Copies of this chain bind each other. A is one copy, B any other.
Amino acid sequence: MIIDAHSHVTLPIQEHIKAMDEAGIDKTFLFSTTFHPETSANFAEVKTSMEYLNDLLAGKIGSVVEARQKAVSELVEAIEQYPDRYIGFGTVPVGLNLNDTLQYVNDVIYKNHLAGMGEFPLGSGQTHLLKNVFIASQEFHNLPIWVHAFFPLTFQDIKDIAEFAKTYPQIPVILGHLGGINWLETIELVKEIPNLYLDTSAYYSTFVLGTIINEVPEKCLFGVDRPFGDLQLSKNTILRYAKTPEVSNAVLGENAIRLLNITG
């Protein structure tokens, strides 16, 4: 079974399912989104979308509760349409107090049967805001936590997230985008901490990607990050750079299956 363990809701949903069929991807871990660059009609619209994303990644608009609830509604609707193709990860606002975080996770994640929490786009120096999210994960059967770990995060931020993973060894923690430019140091953390994983999306070098998946094949989850990545090209890259079928099988599906105890 081939699993894209990280893509966002893209519109129309049917186009995504068609692209999964064409690329031979069985299931997607589907993440909510508060914006839809894939629907841009021209460069000006792309620009507006990307400026929104930059603000989001700078941690400027990460806590807008209403936008996130709307995004989760859109996610839940997509999963209801294709329950055998999608497994949901829902975003949770950071910066809420513990009671509000627990209430939010109960109402939005747990009641909607979502399998994990994320993507968390934090500004550099904001990783402490994940504390209540980790406590909430523990309360709700150790929901996996997925953190954007490309720019603007520094290696210090990534180390801080790794410390959370050490403190909560039952909670799977996925570092998005291989740790970005900090991949070389990040790989050592992933080797050391059993519940710390890497997502392969947004690789900027196939040499780097190949080095990582062959060094820690059991810790890498294939991710596309649609609409930013391409299903077919991303899958082809893993197949081309995995040194053995064991490596590509682990990365393209087996690790994700084990992470969420997927049975079919």
Contacts and interface: CB of A to CB of B under 8 A. Distances in A.
Interface of A: 37-38, 43, 46-47, 50-51, 54, 150-151, 177, 181, 184, 202-208, 211, 215, 225, 227-230, 233, 236-237, 240
Contacts of A203: 204
A162 B227 CA distance: 30
A177 B204 CA distance: 9
Contact of A233 (B38, B150, B184, B240): B240
B240 A230 contact: yes
Given A206-B233, A207-B227, A207-B228, 13 more contacts: A38-B207, A46-B211, A47-B184, A150-B204, A151-B181, A202-B205, A203-B204, A204-B204, A205-B229, A206-B230, A207-B229, A233-B236, A236-B236
A51 B184 contact: yes
A211 B49 CA distance: 12
Prevailing SS type, chain A contact patch: helix
A54 B182 CA distance: 10
Contacts of A151: 151, 181
10 contacts: A46-B211, A151-B151, A203-B204, A204-B204, A205-B228, A206-B230, A207-B229, A208-B228, A230-B237, A236-B236
A43 B250 CA distance: 19
A108 to B, nearest CB: 27
